[in-house]
Amino acid sequence: MDACVQPGLLPVNEAIARILAALKPITATENVSLMDCLDRVLAENVIAPINVPGGDNSAMDGYALRHSDVHEELIVIGEAFAGHPFSGAIAAGQAVRIMTGGLVPAGADTVVMQENVTRHENKILINTRPDSGENIRRAGEDIAQESLVLSKGHLLTALDIGLLASLGIHQVNVFQRIKIALLTTGDELLMPGAPHQTGKIYDSNRPLLYALLKRLPVDVLDLGVVPDNPDSLRAAFLAAQQFADMVISTGGVSVGDADYTKDILAELGEINFWKIAMKPGKPFAFGLLGKNAQARATDCWFCGLPGNPVSTAVTYHQLVVPALRYLAGEIPAEPLVIKAVAIKTLKKQPGRMDFQRGIFSASNGVNSVSSAGLQSSGVLSGMGKANCYIRLAAERGTVTEGEIVDVVLFDRFIR
């Protein structure tokens, strides 16, 4: 454990390592159409079945010819359009009219762009001498046949889909979506849309998490708000574990809370209640809720997030997203950390790693960052304005203006 962390608190990286060590990624796969594989995780390596491009072709509209002939007047003997190759071959003193994407005819080694040519009937004169091999896109220059294109465990992007299409691939083998059960706990929670009542608050965590989970290859069962009583909680968790690979709940995990969530979880599964050295989001529960539950072949894991909405969002992003991506078959990757100058003081107590919400900008070649406003864990409005975390190591104290700090830009998993 990190010596500079408050005693009894688990450092963030250690919490993530423990979670990943416990989880067993999904192994079930399915074939899906290329058109439906966005944001799915590849379950196999993709090897290029063909060269892309398939043959040498022209990068310009112009004339294909032999470079050794460019000083002469050449006779145009045919055409090569994209999709319509020239069937013959070029001999000395000959050229072929060629369009972008047209296959370079046999015998030709160079393409001259049409702007550099004077044409008179079927004859051309070259005004600007090209380099040998100019304007030719070589076979396999983009992707070589038999090369590894994408690896197992890769989350497919729109660009990947374009790439796979260029290889003629119309179906991919991906991991099945993992199943998530989502619930929030608290007698104070009202559904958005219900009339407001004194002493109650609207449940913002469930719509927030439901929306964020859409970014991941998961199916979500929304179990709604569960009141703070043992029977309701037990029934909700038992229902959830029949369906889910992971149950995500918010609320009721605070230290010293006399609520029932912890008791019921301890009764039903092997759940650890951790105090994590992070701010916001100290309390966090993780563990196994149902091992090989009767109706299921796989384990059901549990992540219990703190109830304050900012704590919910930050712990979800820092701890649950890596867990879900790993469970869904992805290869874990470290976040990209960039350096920026703090343009104002950032208050901090030593002891926990801070994930302050910041506004990053890069202007005139300088990376700078400032606080996105109130850093209280109940204030969701400040987080909405932020575009990054200012990640401050557990041991450090207040950051003074002008110091260099670590910034991690918000990614699509939190926006």
Chain positions contacting ligand AMP, by CB under 6 A = 184, 186, 188-189, 201, 203-206, 250-252, 254, 257, 306-309
> Residue 358's closest CA among 383, 339, 336, 376?
383
For Mg ion, which is the closer residue by CB, 124 or 271?
271
* Dihedral Cα 305, 309, 313, 316, nearest 10 deg: 10
Q: Which residue is nearest to ligand AMP (CB)?
A: 307
The least CB distance from residue 244 to Mg ion, in Å, is 21
Check residue 186 for interaction with Mg ion (CB under 5 A).
Answer: yes
Q: Are 343 and 358 in contact (CB under 8 A)?
A: no
The least CB distance from residue 189 to ligand AMP, in Å, is 5
- C-alpha to C-alpha distance for 336 and 321, rounded to whole angstroms: 15
For ligand AMP, which is the closer residue by CB, 287 or 306?
306
- C-alpha to C-alpha distance for 92 and 51, rounded to whole angstroms: 29
What residue 308 binds from ligand AMP, Mg ion, none (CB within 5 to 8 A, per partner kind)?
Answer: ligand AMP
For ligand AMP, which is the closer residue by CB, 130 or 186?
186
What residue 304 binds from ligand AMP, Mg ion, none (CB within 5 to 8 A, per partner kind)?
Answer: none
What residue 310 binds from Mg ion, ligand AMP, none (CB within 5 to 8 A, per partner kind)?
Answer: none
Cβ-proximal residues to 257 (8 Å cutoff; 6+ apart), any chain: none
What number of CA atoms fall less than 13 Å from residue 162's CA on the CB side?
Answer: 4
The least CB distance from residue 335 to Mg ion, in Å, is 30
For ligand AMP, which is the closer residue by CB, 198 or 363?
198
For ligand AMP, which is the closer residue by CB, 188 or 219?
188
Q: Is 191 exposed, middle or buried (0-12, 13-18, 19+ CB in 10 A)?
A: exposed
- C-alpha to C-alpha distance for 284 and 273, rounded to whole angstroms: 6
The least CB distance from residue 252 to Mg ion, in Å, is 5
What residue 105 binds from Mg ion, ligand AMP, none (CB within 5 to 8 A, per partner kind)?
Answer: none
Q: In this structure, are strands 46-47 and 62-65 parallel, antiparallel, or unpaired? A: unpaired
The least CB distance from residue 306 to ligand AMP, in Å, is 5
What residue 358 binds from Mg ion, ligand AMP, none (CB within 5 to 8 A, per partner kind)?
Answer: none
Number of residues that bind Mg ion (CB under 5 A): 3
The least CB distance from residue 259 to Mg ion, in Å, is 6
Tell the residue number behind the tokens 């100019």, with chain if given.
134
The least CB distance from residue 307 to Mg ion, in Å, is 5
At residue 219, the 3 state secondary structure works out as: strand
Tell the residue number behind the tokens 């994209």, with chain if given.
82
- C-alpha to C-alpha distance for 26 and 116, rounded to whole angstroms: 58
The least CB distance from residue 202 to ligand AMP, in Å, is 7
Tell the residue number behind the tokens 């380099």, with chain if given.
131
For ligand AMP, which is the closer residue by CB, 332 or 378?
378
Q: Which amino acid does the sequence have at 229?
A: N
What residue 254 binds from Mg ion, ligand AMP, none (CB within 5 to 8 A, per partner kind)?
Answer: ligand AMP
Q: Which of 11, 102, 251, 329 binds Mg ion (CB under 5 A)?
A: 251
Cβ-proximal residues to 252 (8 Å cutoff; 6+ apart), any chain: 185, 186, 228, 259, 260, 261, 262, 304, 307
What residue 306 binds from Mg ion, ligand AMP, none (CB within 5 to 8 A, per partner kind)?
Answer: ligand AMP
At residue 293, the 3 state secondary structure works out as: coil
For Mg ion, which is the closer residue by CB, 95 or 240?
240
Q: What phi and psi, each to the nearest 5 degrees, are found at residue 171?
A: -145, 145
The least CB distance from residue 318 to Mg ion, in Å, is 21
Q: Could you say which residues in the range 252-281 bind Mg ion, by CB under 5 A?
A: 252
What residue 217 binds from Mg ion, ligand AMP, none (CB within 5 to 8 A, per partner kind)?
Answer: none
For ligand AMP, which is the closer residue by CB, 378 or 397?
378
Q: What phi and psi, each to the nearest 5 degrees, are found at residue 292?
A: 45, 45
Q: Which amino acid does the sequence have at 246?
A: M
Residues found near Mg ion in the complex (CB under 5 A): 186, 251-252
